[in-house]
Amino acid sequence: MDNRAEVREFLTTRRERVTPERVGLPEGSNRRVKGLRRSEVAALAGVSVEYYTRIERGAIGGASPEVLDAIARALLLDHAEQAYLLDLAHAAGPVGRAVRTRRPRPSSLHRTLQWTLDSVTGSAAIVRNGRMDMLAANSVGRAFYRDAYDMPGTTPNFARFIFLDQRGVDFHLDWERAADTAVQILRAEGARNPYDKEHHELIGELSCRSVEFRRRWAAHNVTRHGTGVKYFRHPVVGDLTVAFESLELASEPGLTLTLYTPEPGSPSEERMRLLASWAASEDAGAGRHDSEAEATNA
């Protein structure tokens, strides 16, 4: 990701969406720009027009947290957008420029994490990284995203499933929302880890193969994806309405555990039970096949 270009495009798009009325300024009759002028943002943030202009053009590395907070308030940034701006500034600063590679990720997660996932029986539990790779799951989670796990060639990935597989489109009943969220998570991750080669490769792949992804990527939106309700059409058990909760893992920095849980007593809860039963029978069948293969080879 080109940090200067990203800063420029992010601040420009945020400035263009804020009308003068929203920040208590007169509309005027000779306005030629969409949203606020740079001079108006500078005045609201308490900095000079020249200084704000340099920041918007990408020279953000030396900006203090106080200045960035003031700009965030002037542009009415939400918490996710403010965090994104701070990440961009960190990446452009001396410390960020000095760190050109990420700390290597361990080849496997703590085995106790899988034990914990396996203890969850009434919900689908998935662990992902910032690139939206599915790194671990319980039995119900693997059954829930069975088609994503069936995609050939790479680690199962939420974004690839949403944008590059028709089964992902059919699975998400609110596909537009799912697509928006996936792009926003990936863009936020790009600012947190700007030198992640695999992240760049994923963005390049999705941009080349999906018009819908390119359109959303160009909007420069970010989000915090913590809790809510999602709607799915599962190929085995049918329609599911589930609440989700996403938790950052203290033991595995950069990883997120998401639980998908239906409302107690609802039809979705019964269908989730059916899915759990189906997953258990599939796992048992796979275990039998493995045992038979071992006996044959012995």
Q: Tokens 């069936």 label which residue?
A: 150
- Ordered by start, the domain boundaries in the chain are 3-98, 111-176+222-292
Rounded Cα gap, residues 144 and 142, in angstroms: 5
When the candidates are 3.30.450.180, 3.40.50.150, 3.90.1150.10, 3.40.50.1970, the CATH number that belongs to 111-176+222-292 is: 3.30.450.180
**Alpha-helix runs per DSSP H in the chain:** 3-17, 38-45, 49-56, 65-74, 79-92, 94-98, 111-119, 139-144, 146-149, 158-164, 166-171, 175-192, 197-209, 211-217, 267-297
Cβ atoms of 263 and 244 within 8 Å: the answer is no
Neighbours of 123 (CB within 10 A): 21
Per-residue confidence at 293, pLDDT binned at 50, 70, 90?
low
| Most confident by average pLDDT, 21-35, 115-129, 283-297 | 115-129
What is the Cα–Cα distance from 207 to 1, expressed in whole angstroms? 13
Domain with residues 3-98, CATH architecture: Orthogonal Bundle (1.10)
Q: Report the predicted TM-score, pTM, of the whole model to 2 decimal places.
A: 0.86
Residue range 36-86, pLDDT digits in tens: 999 999 999 999 999 999 999 999 988 999 999 999 999 999 999 999 999
Which pLDDT belongs to residue 237? 97
Q: β-strand 227-234 against 134-137: which pairing, if any? A: unpaired
Paired tokens of 213: 């992804």
Residue 170's beta-bridge partner residues? none
Q: Which pLDDT does position 181 carry in this prediction?
A: 96
Q: Per-residue pLDDT tens for 255-267?
A: 999 999 999 999 9
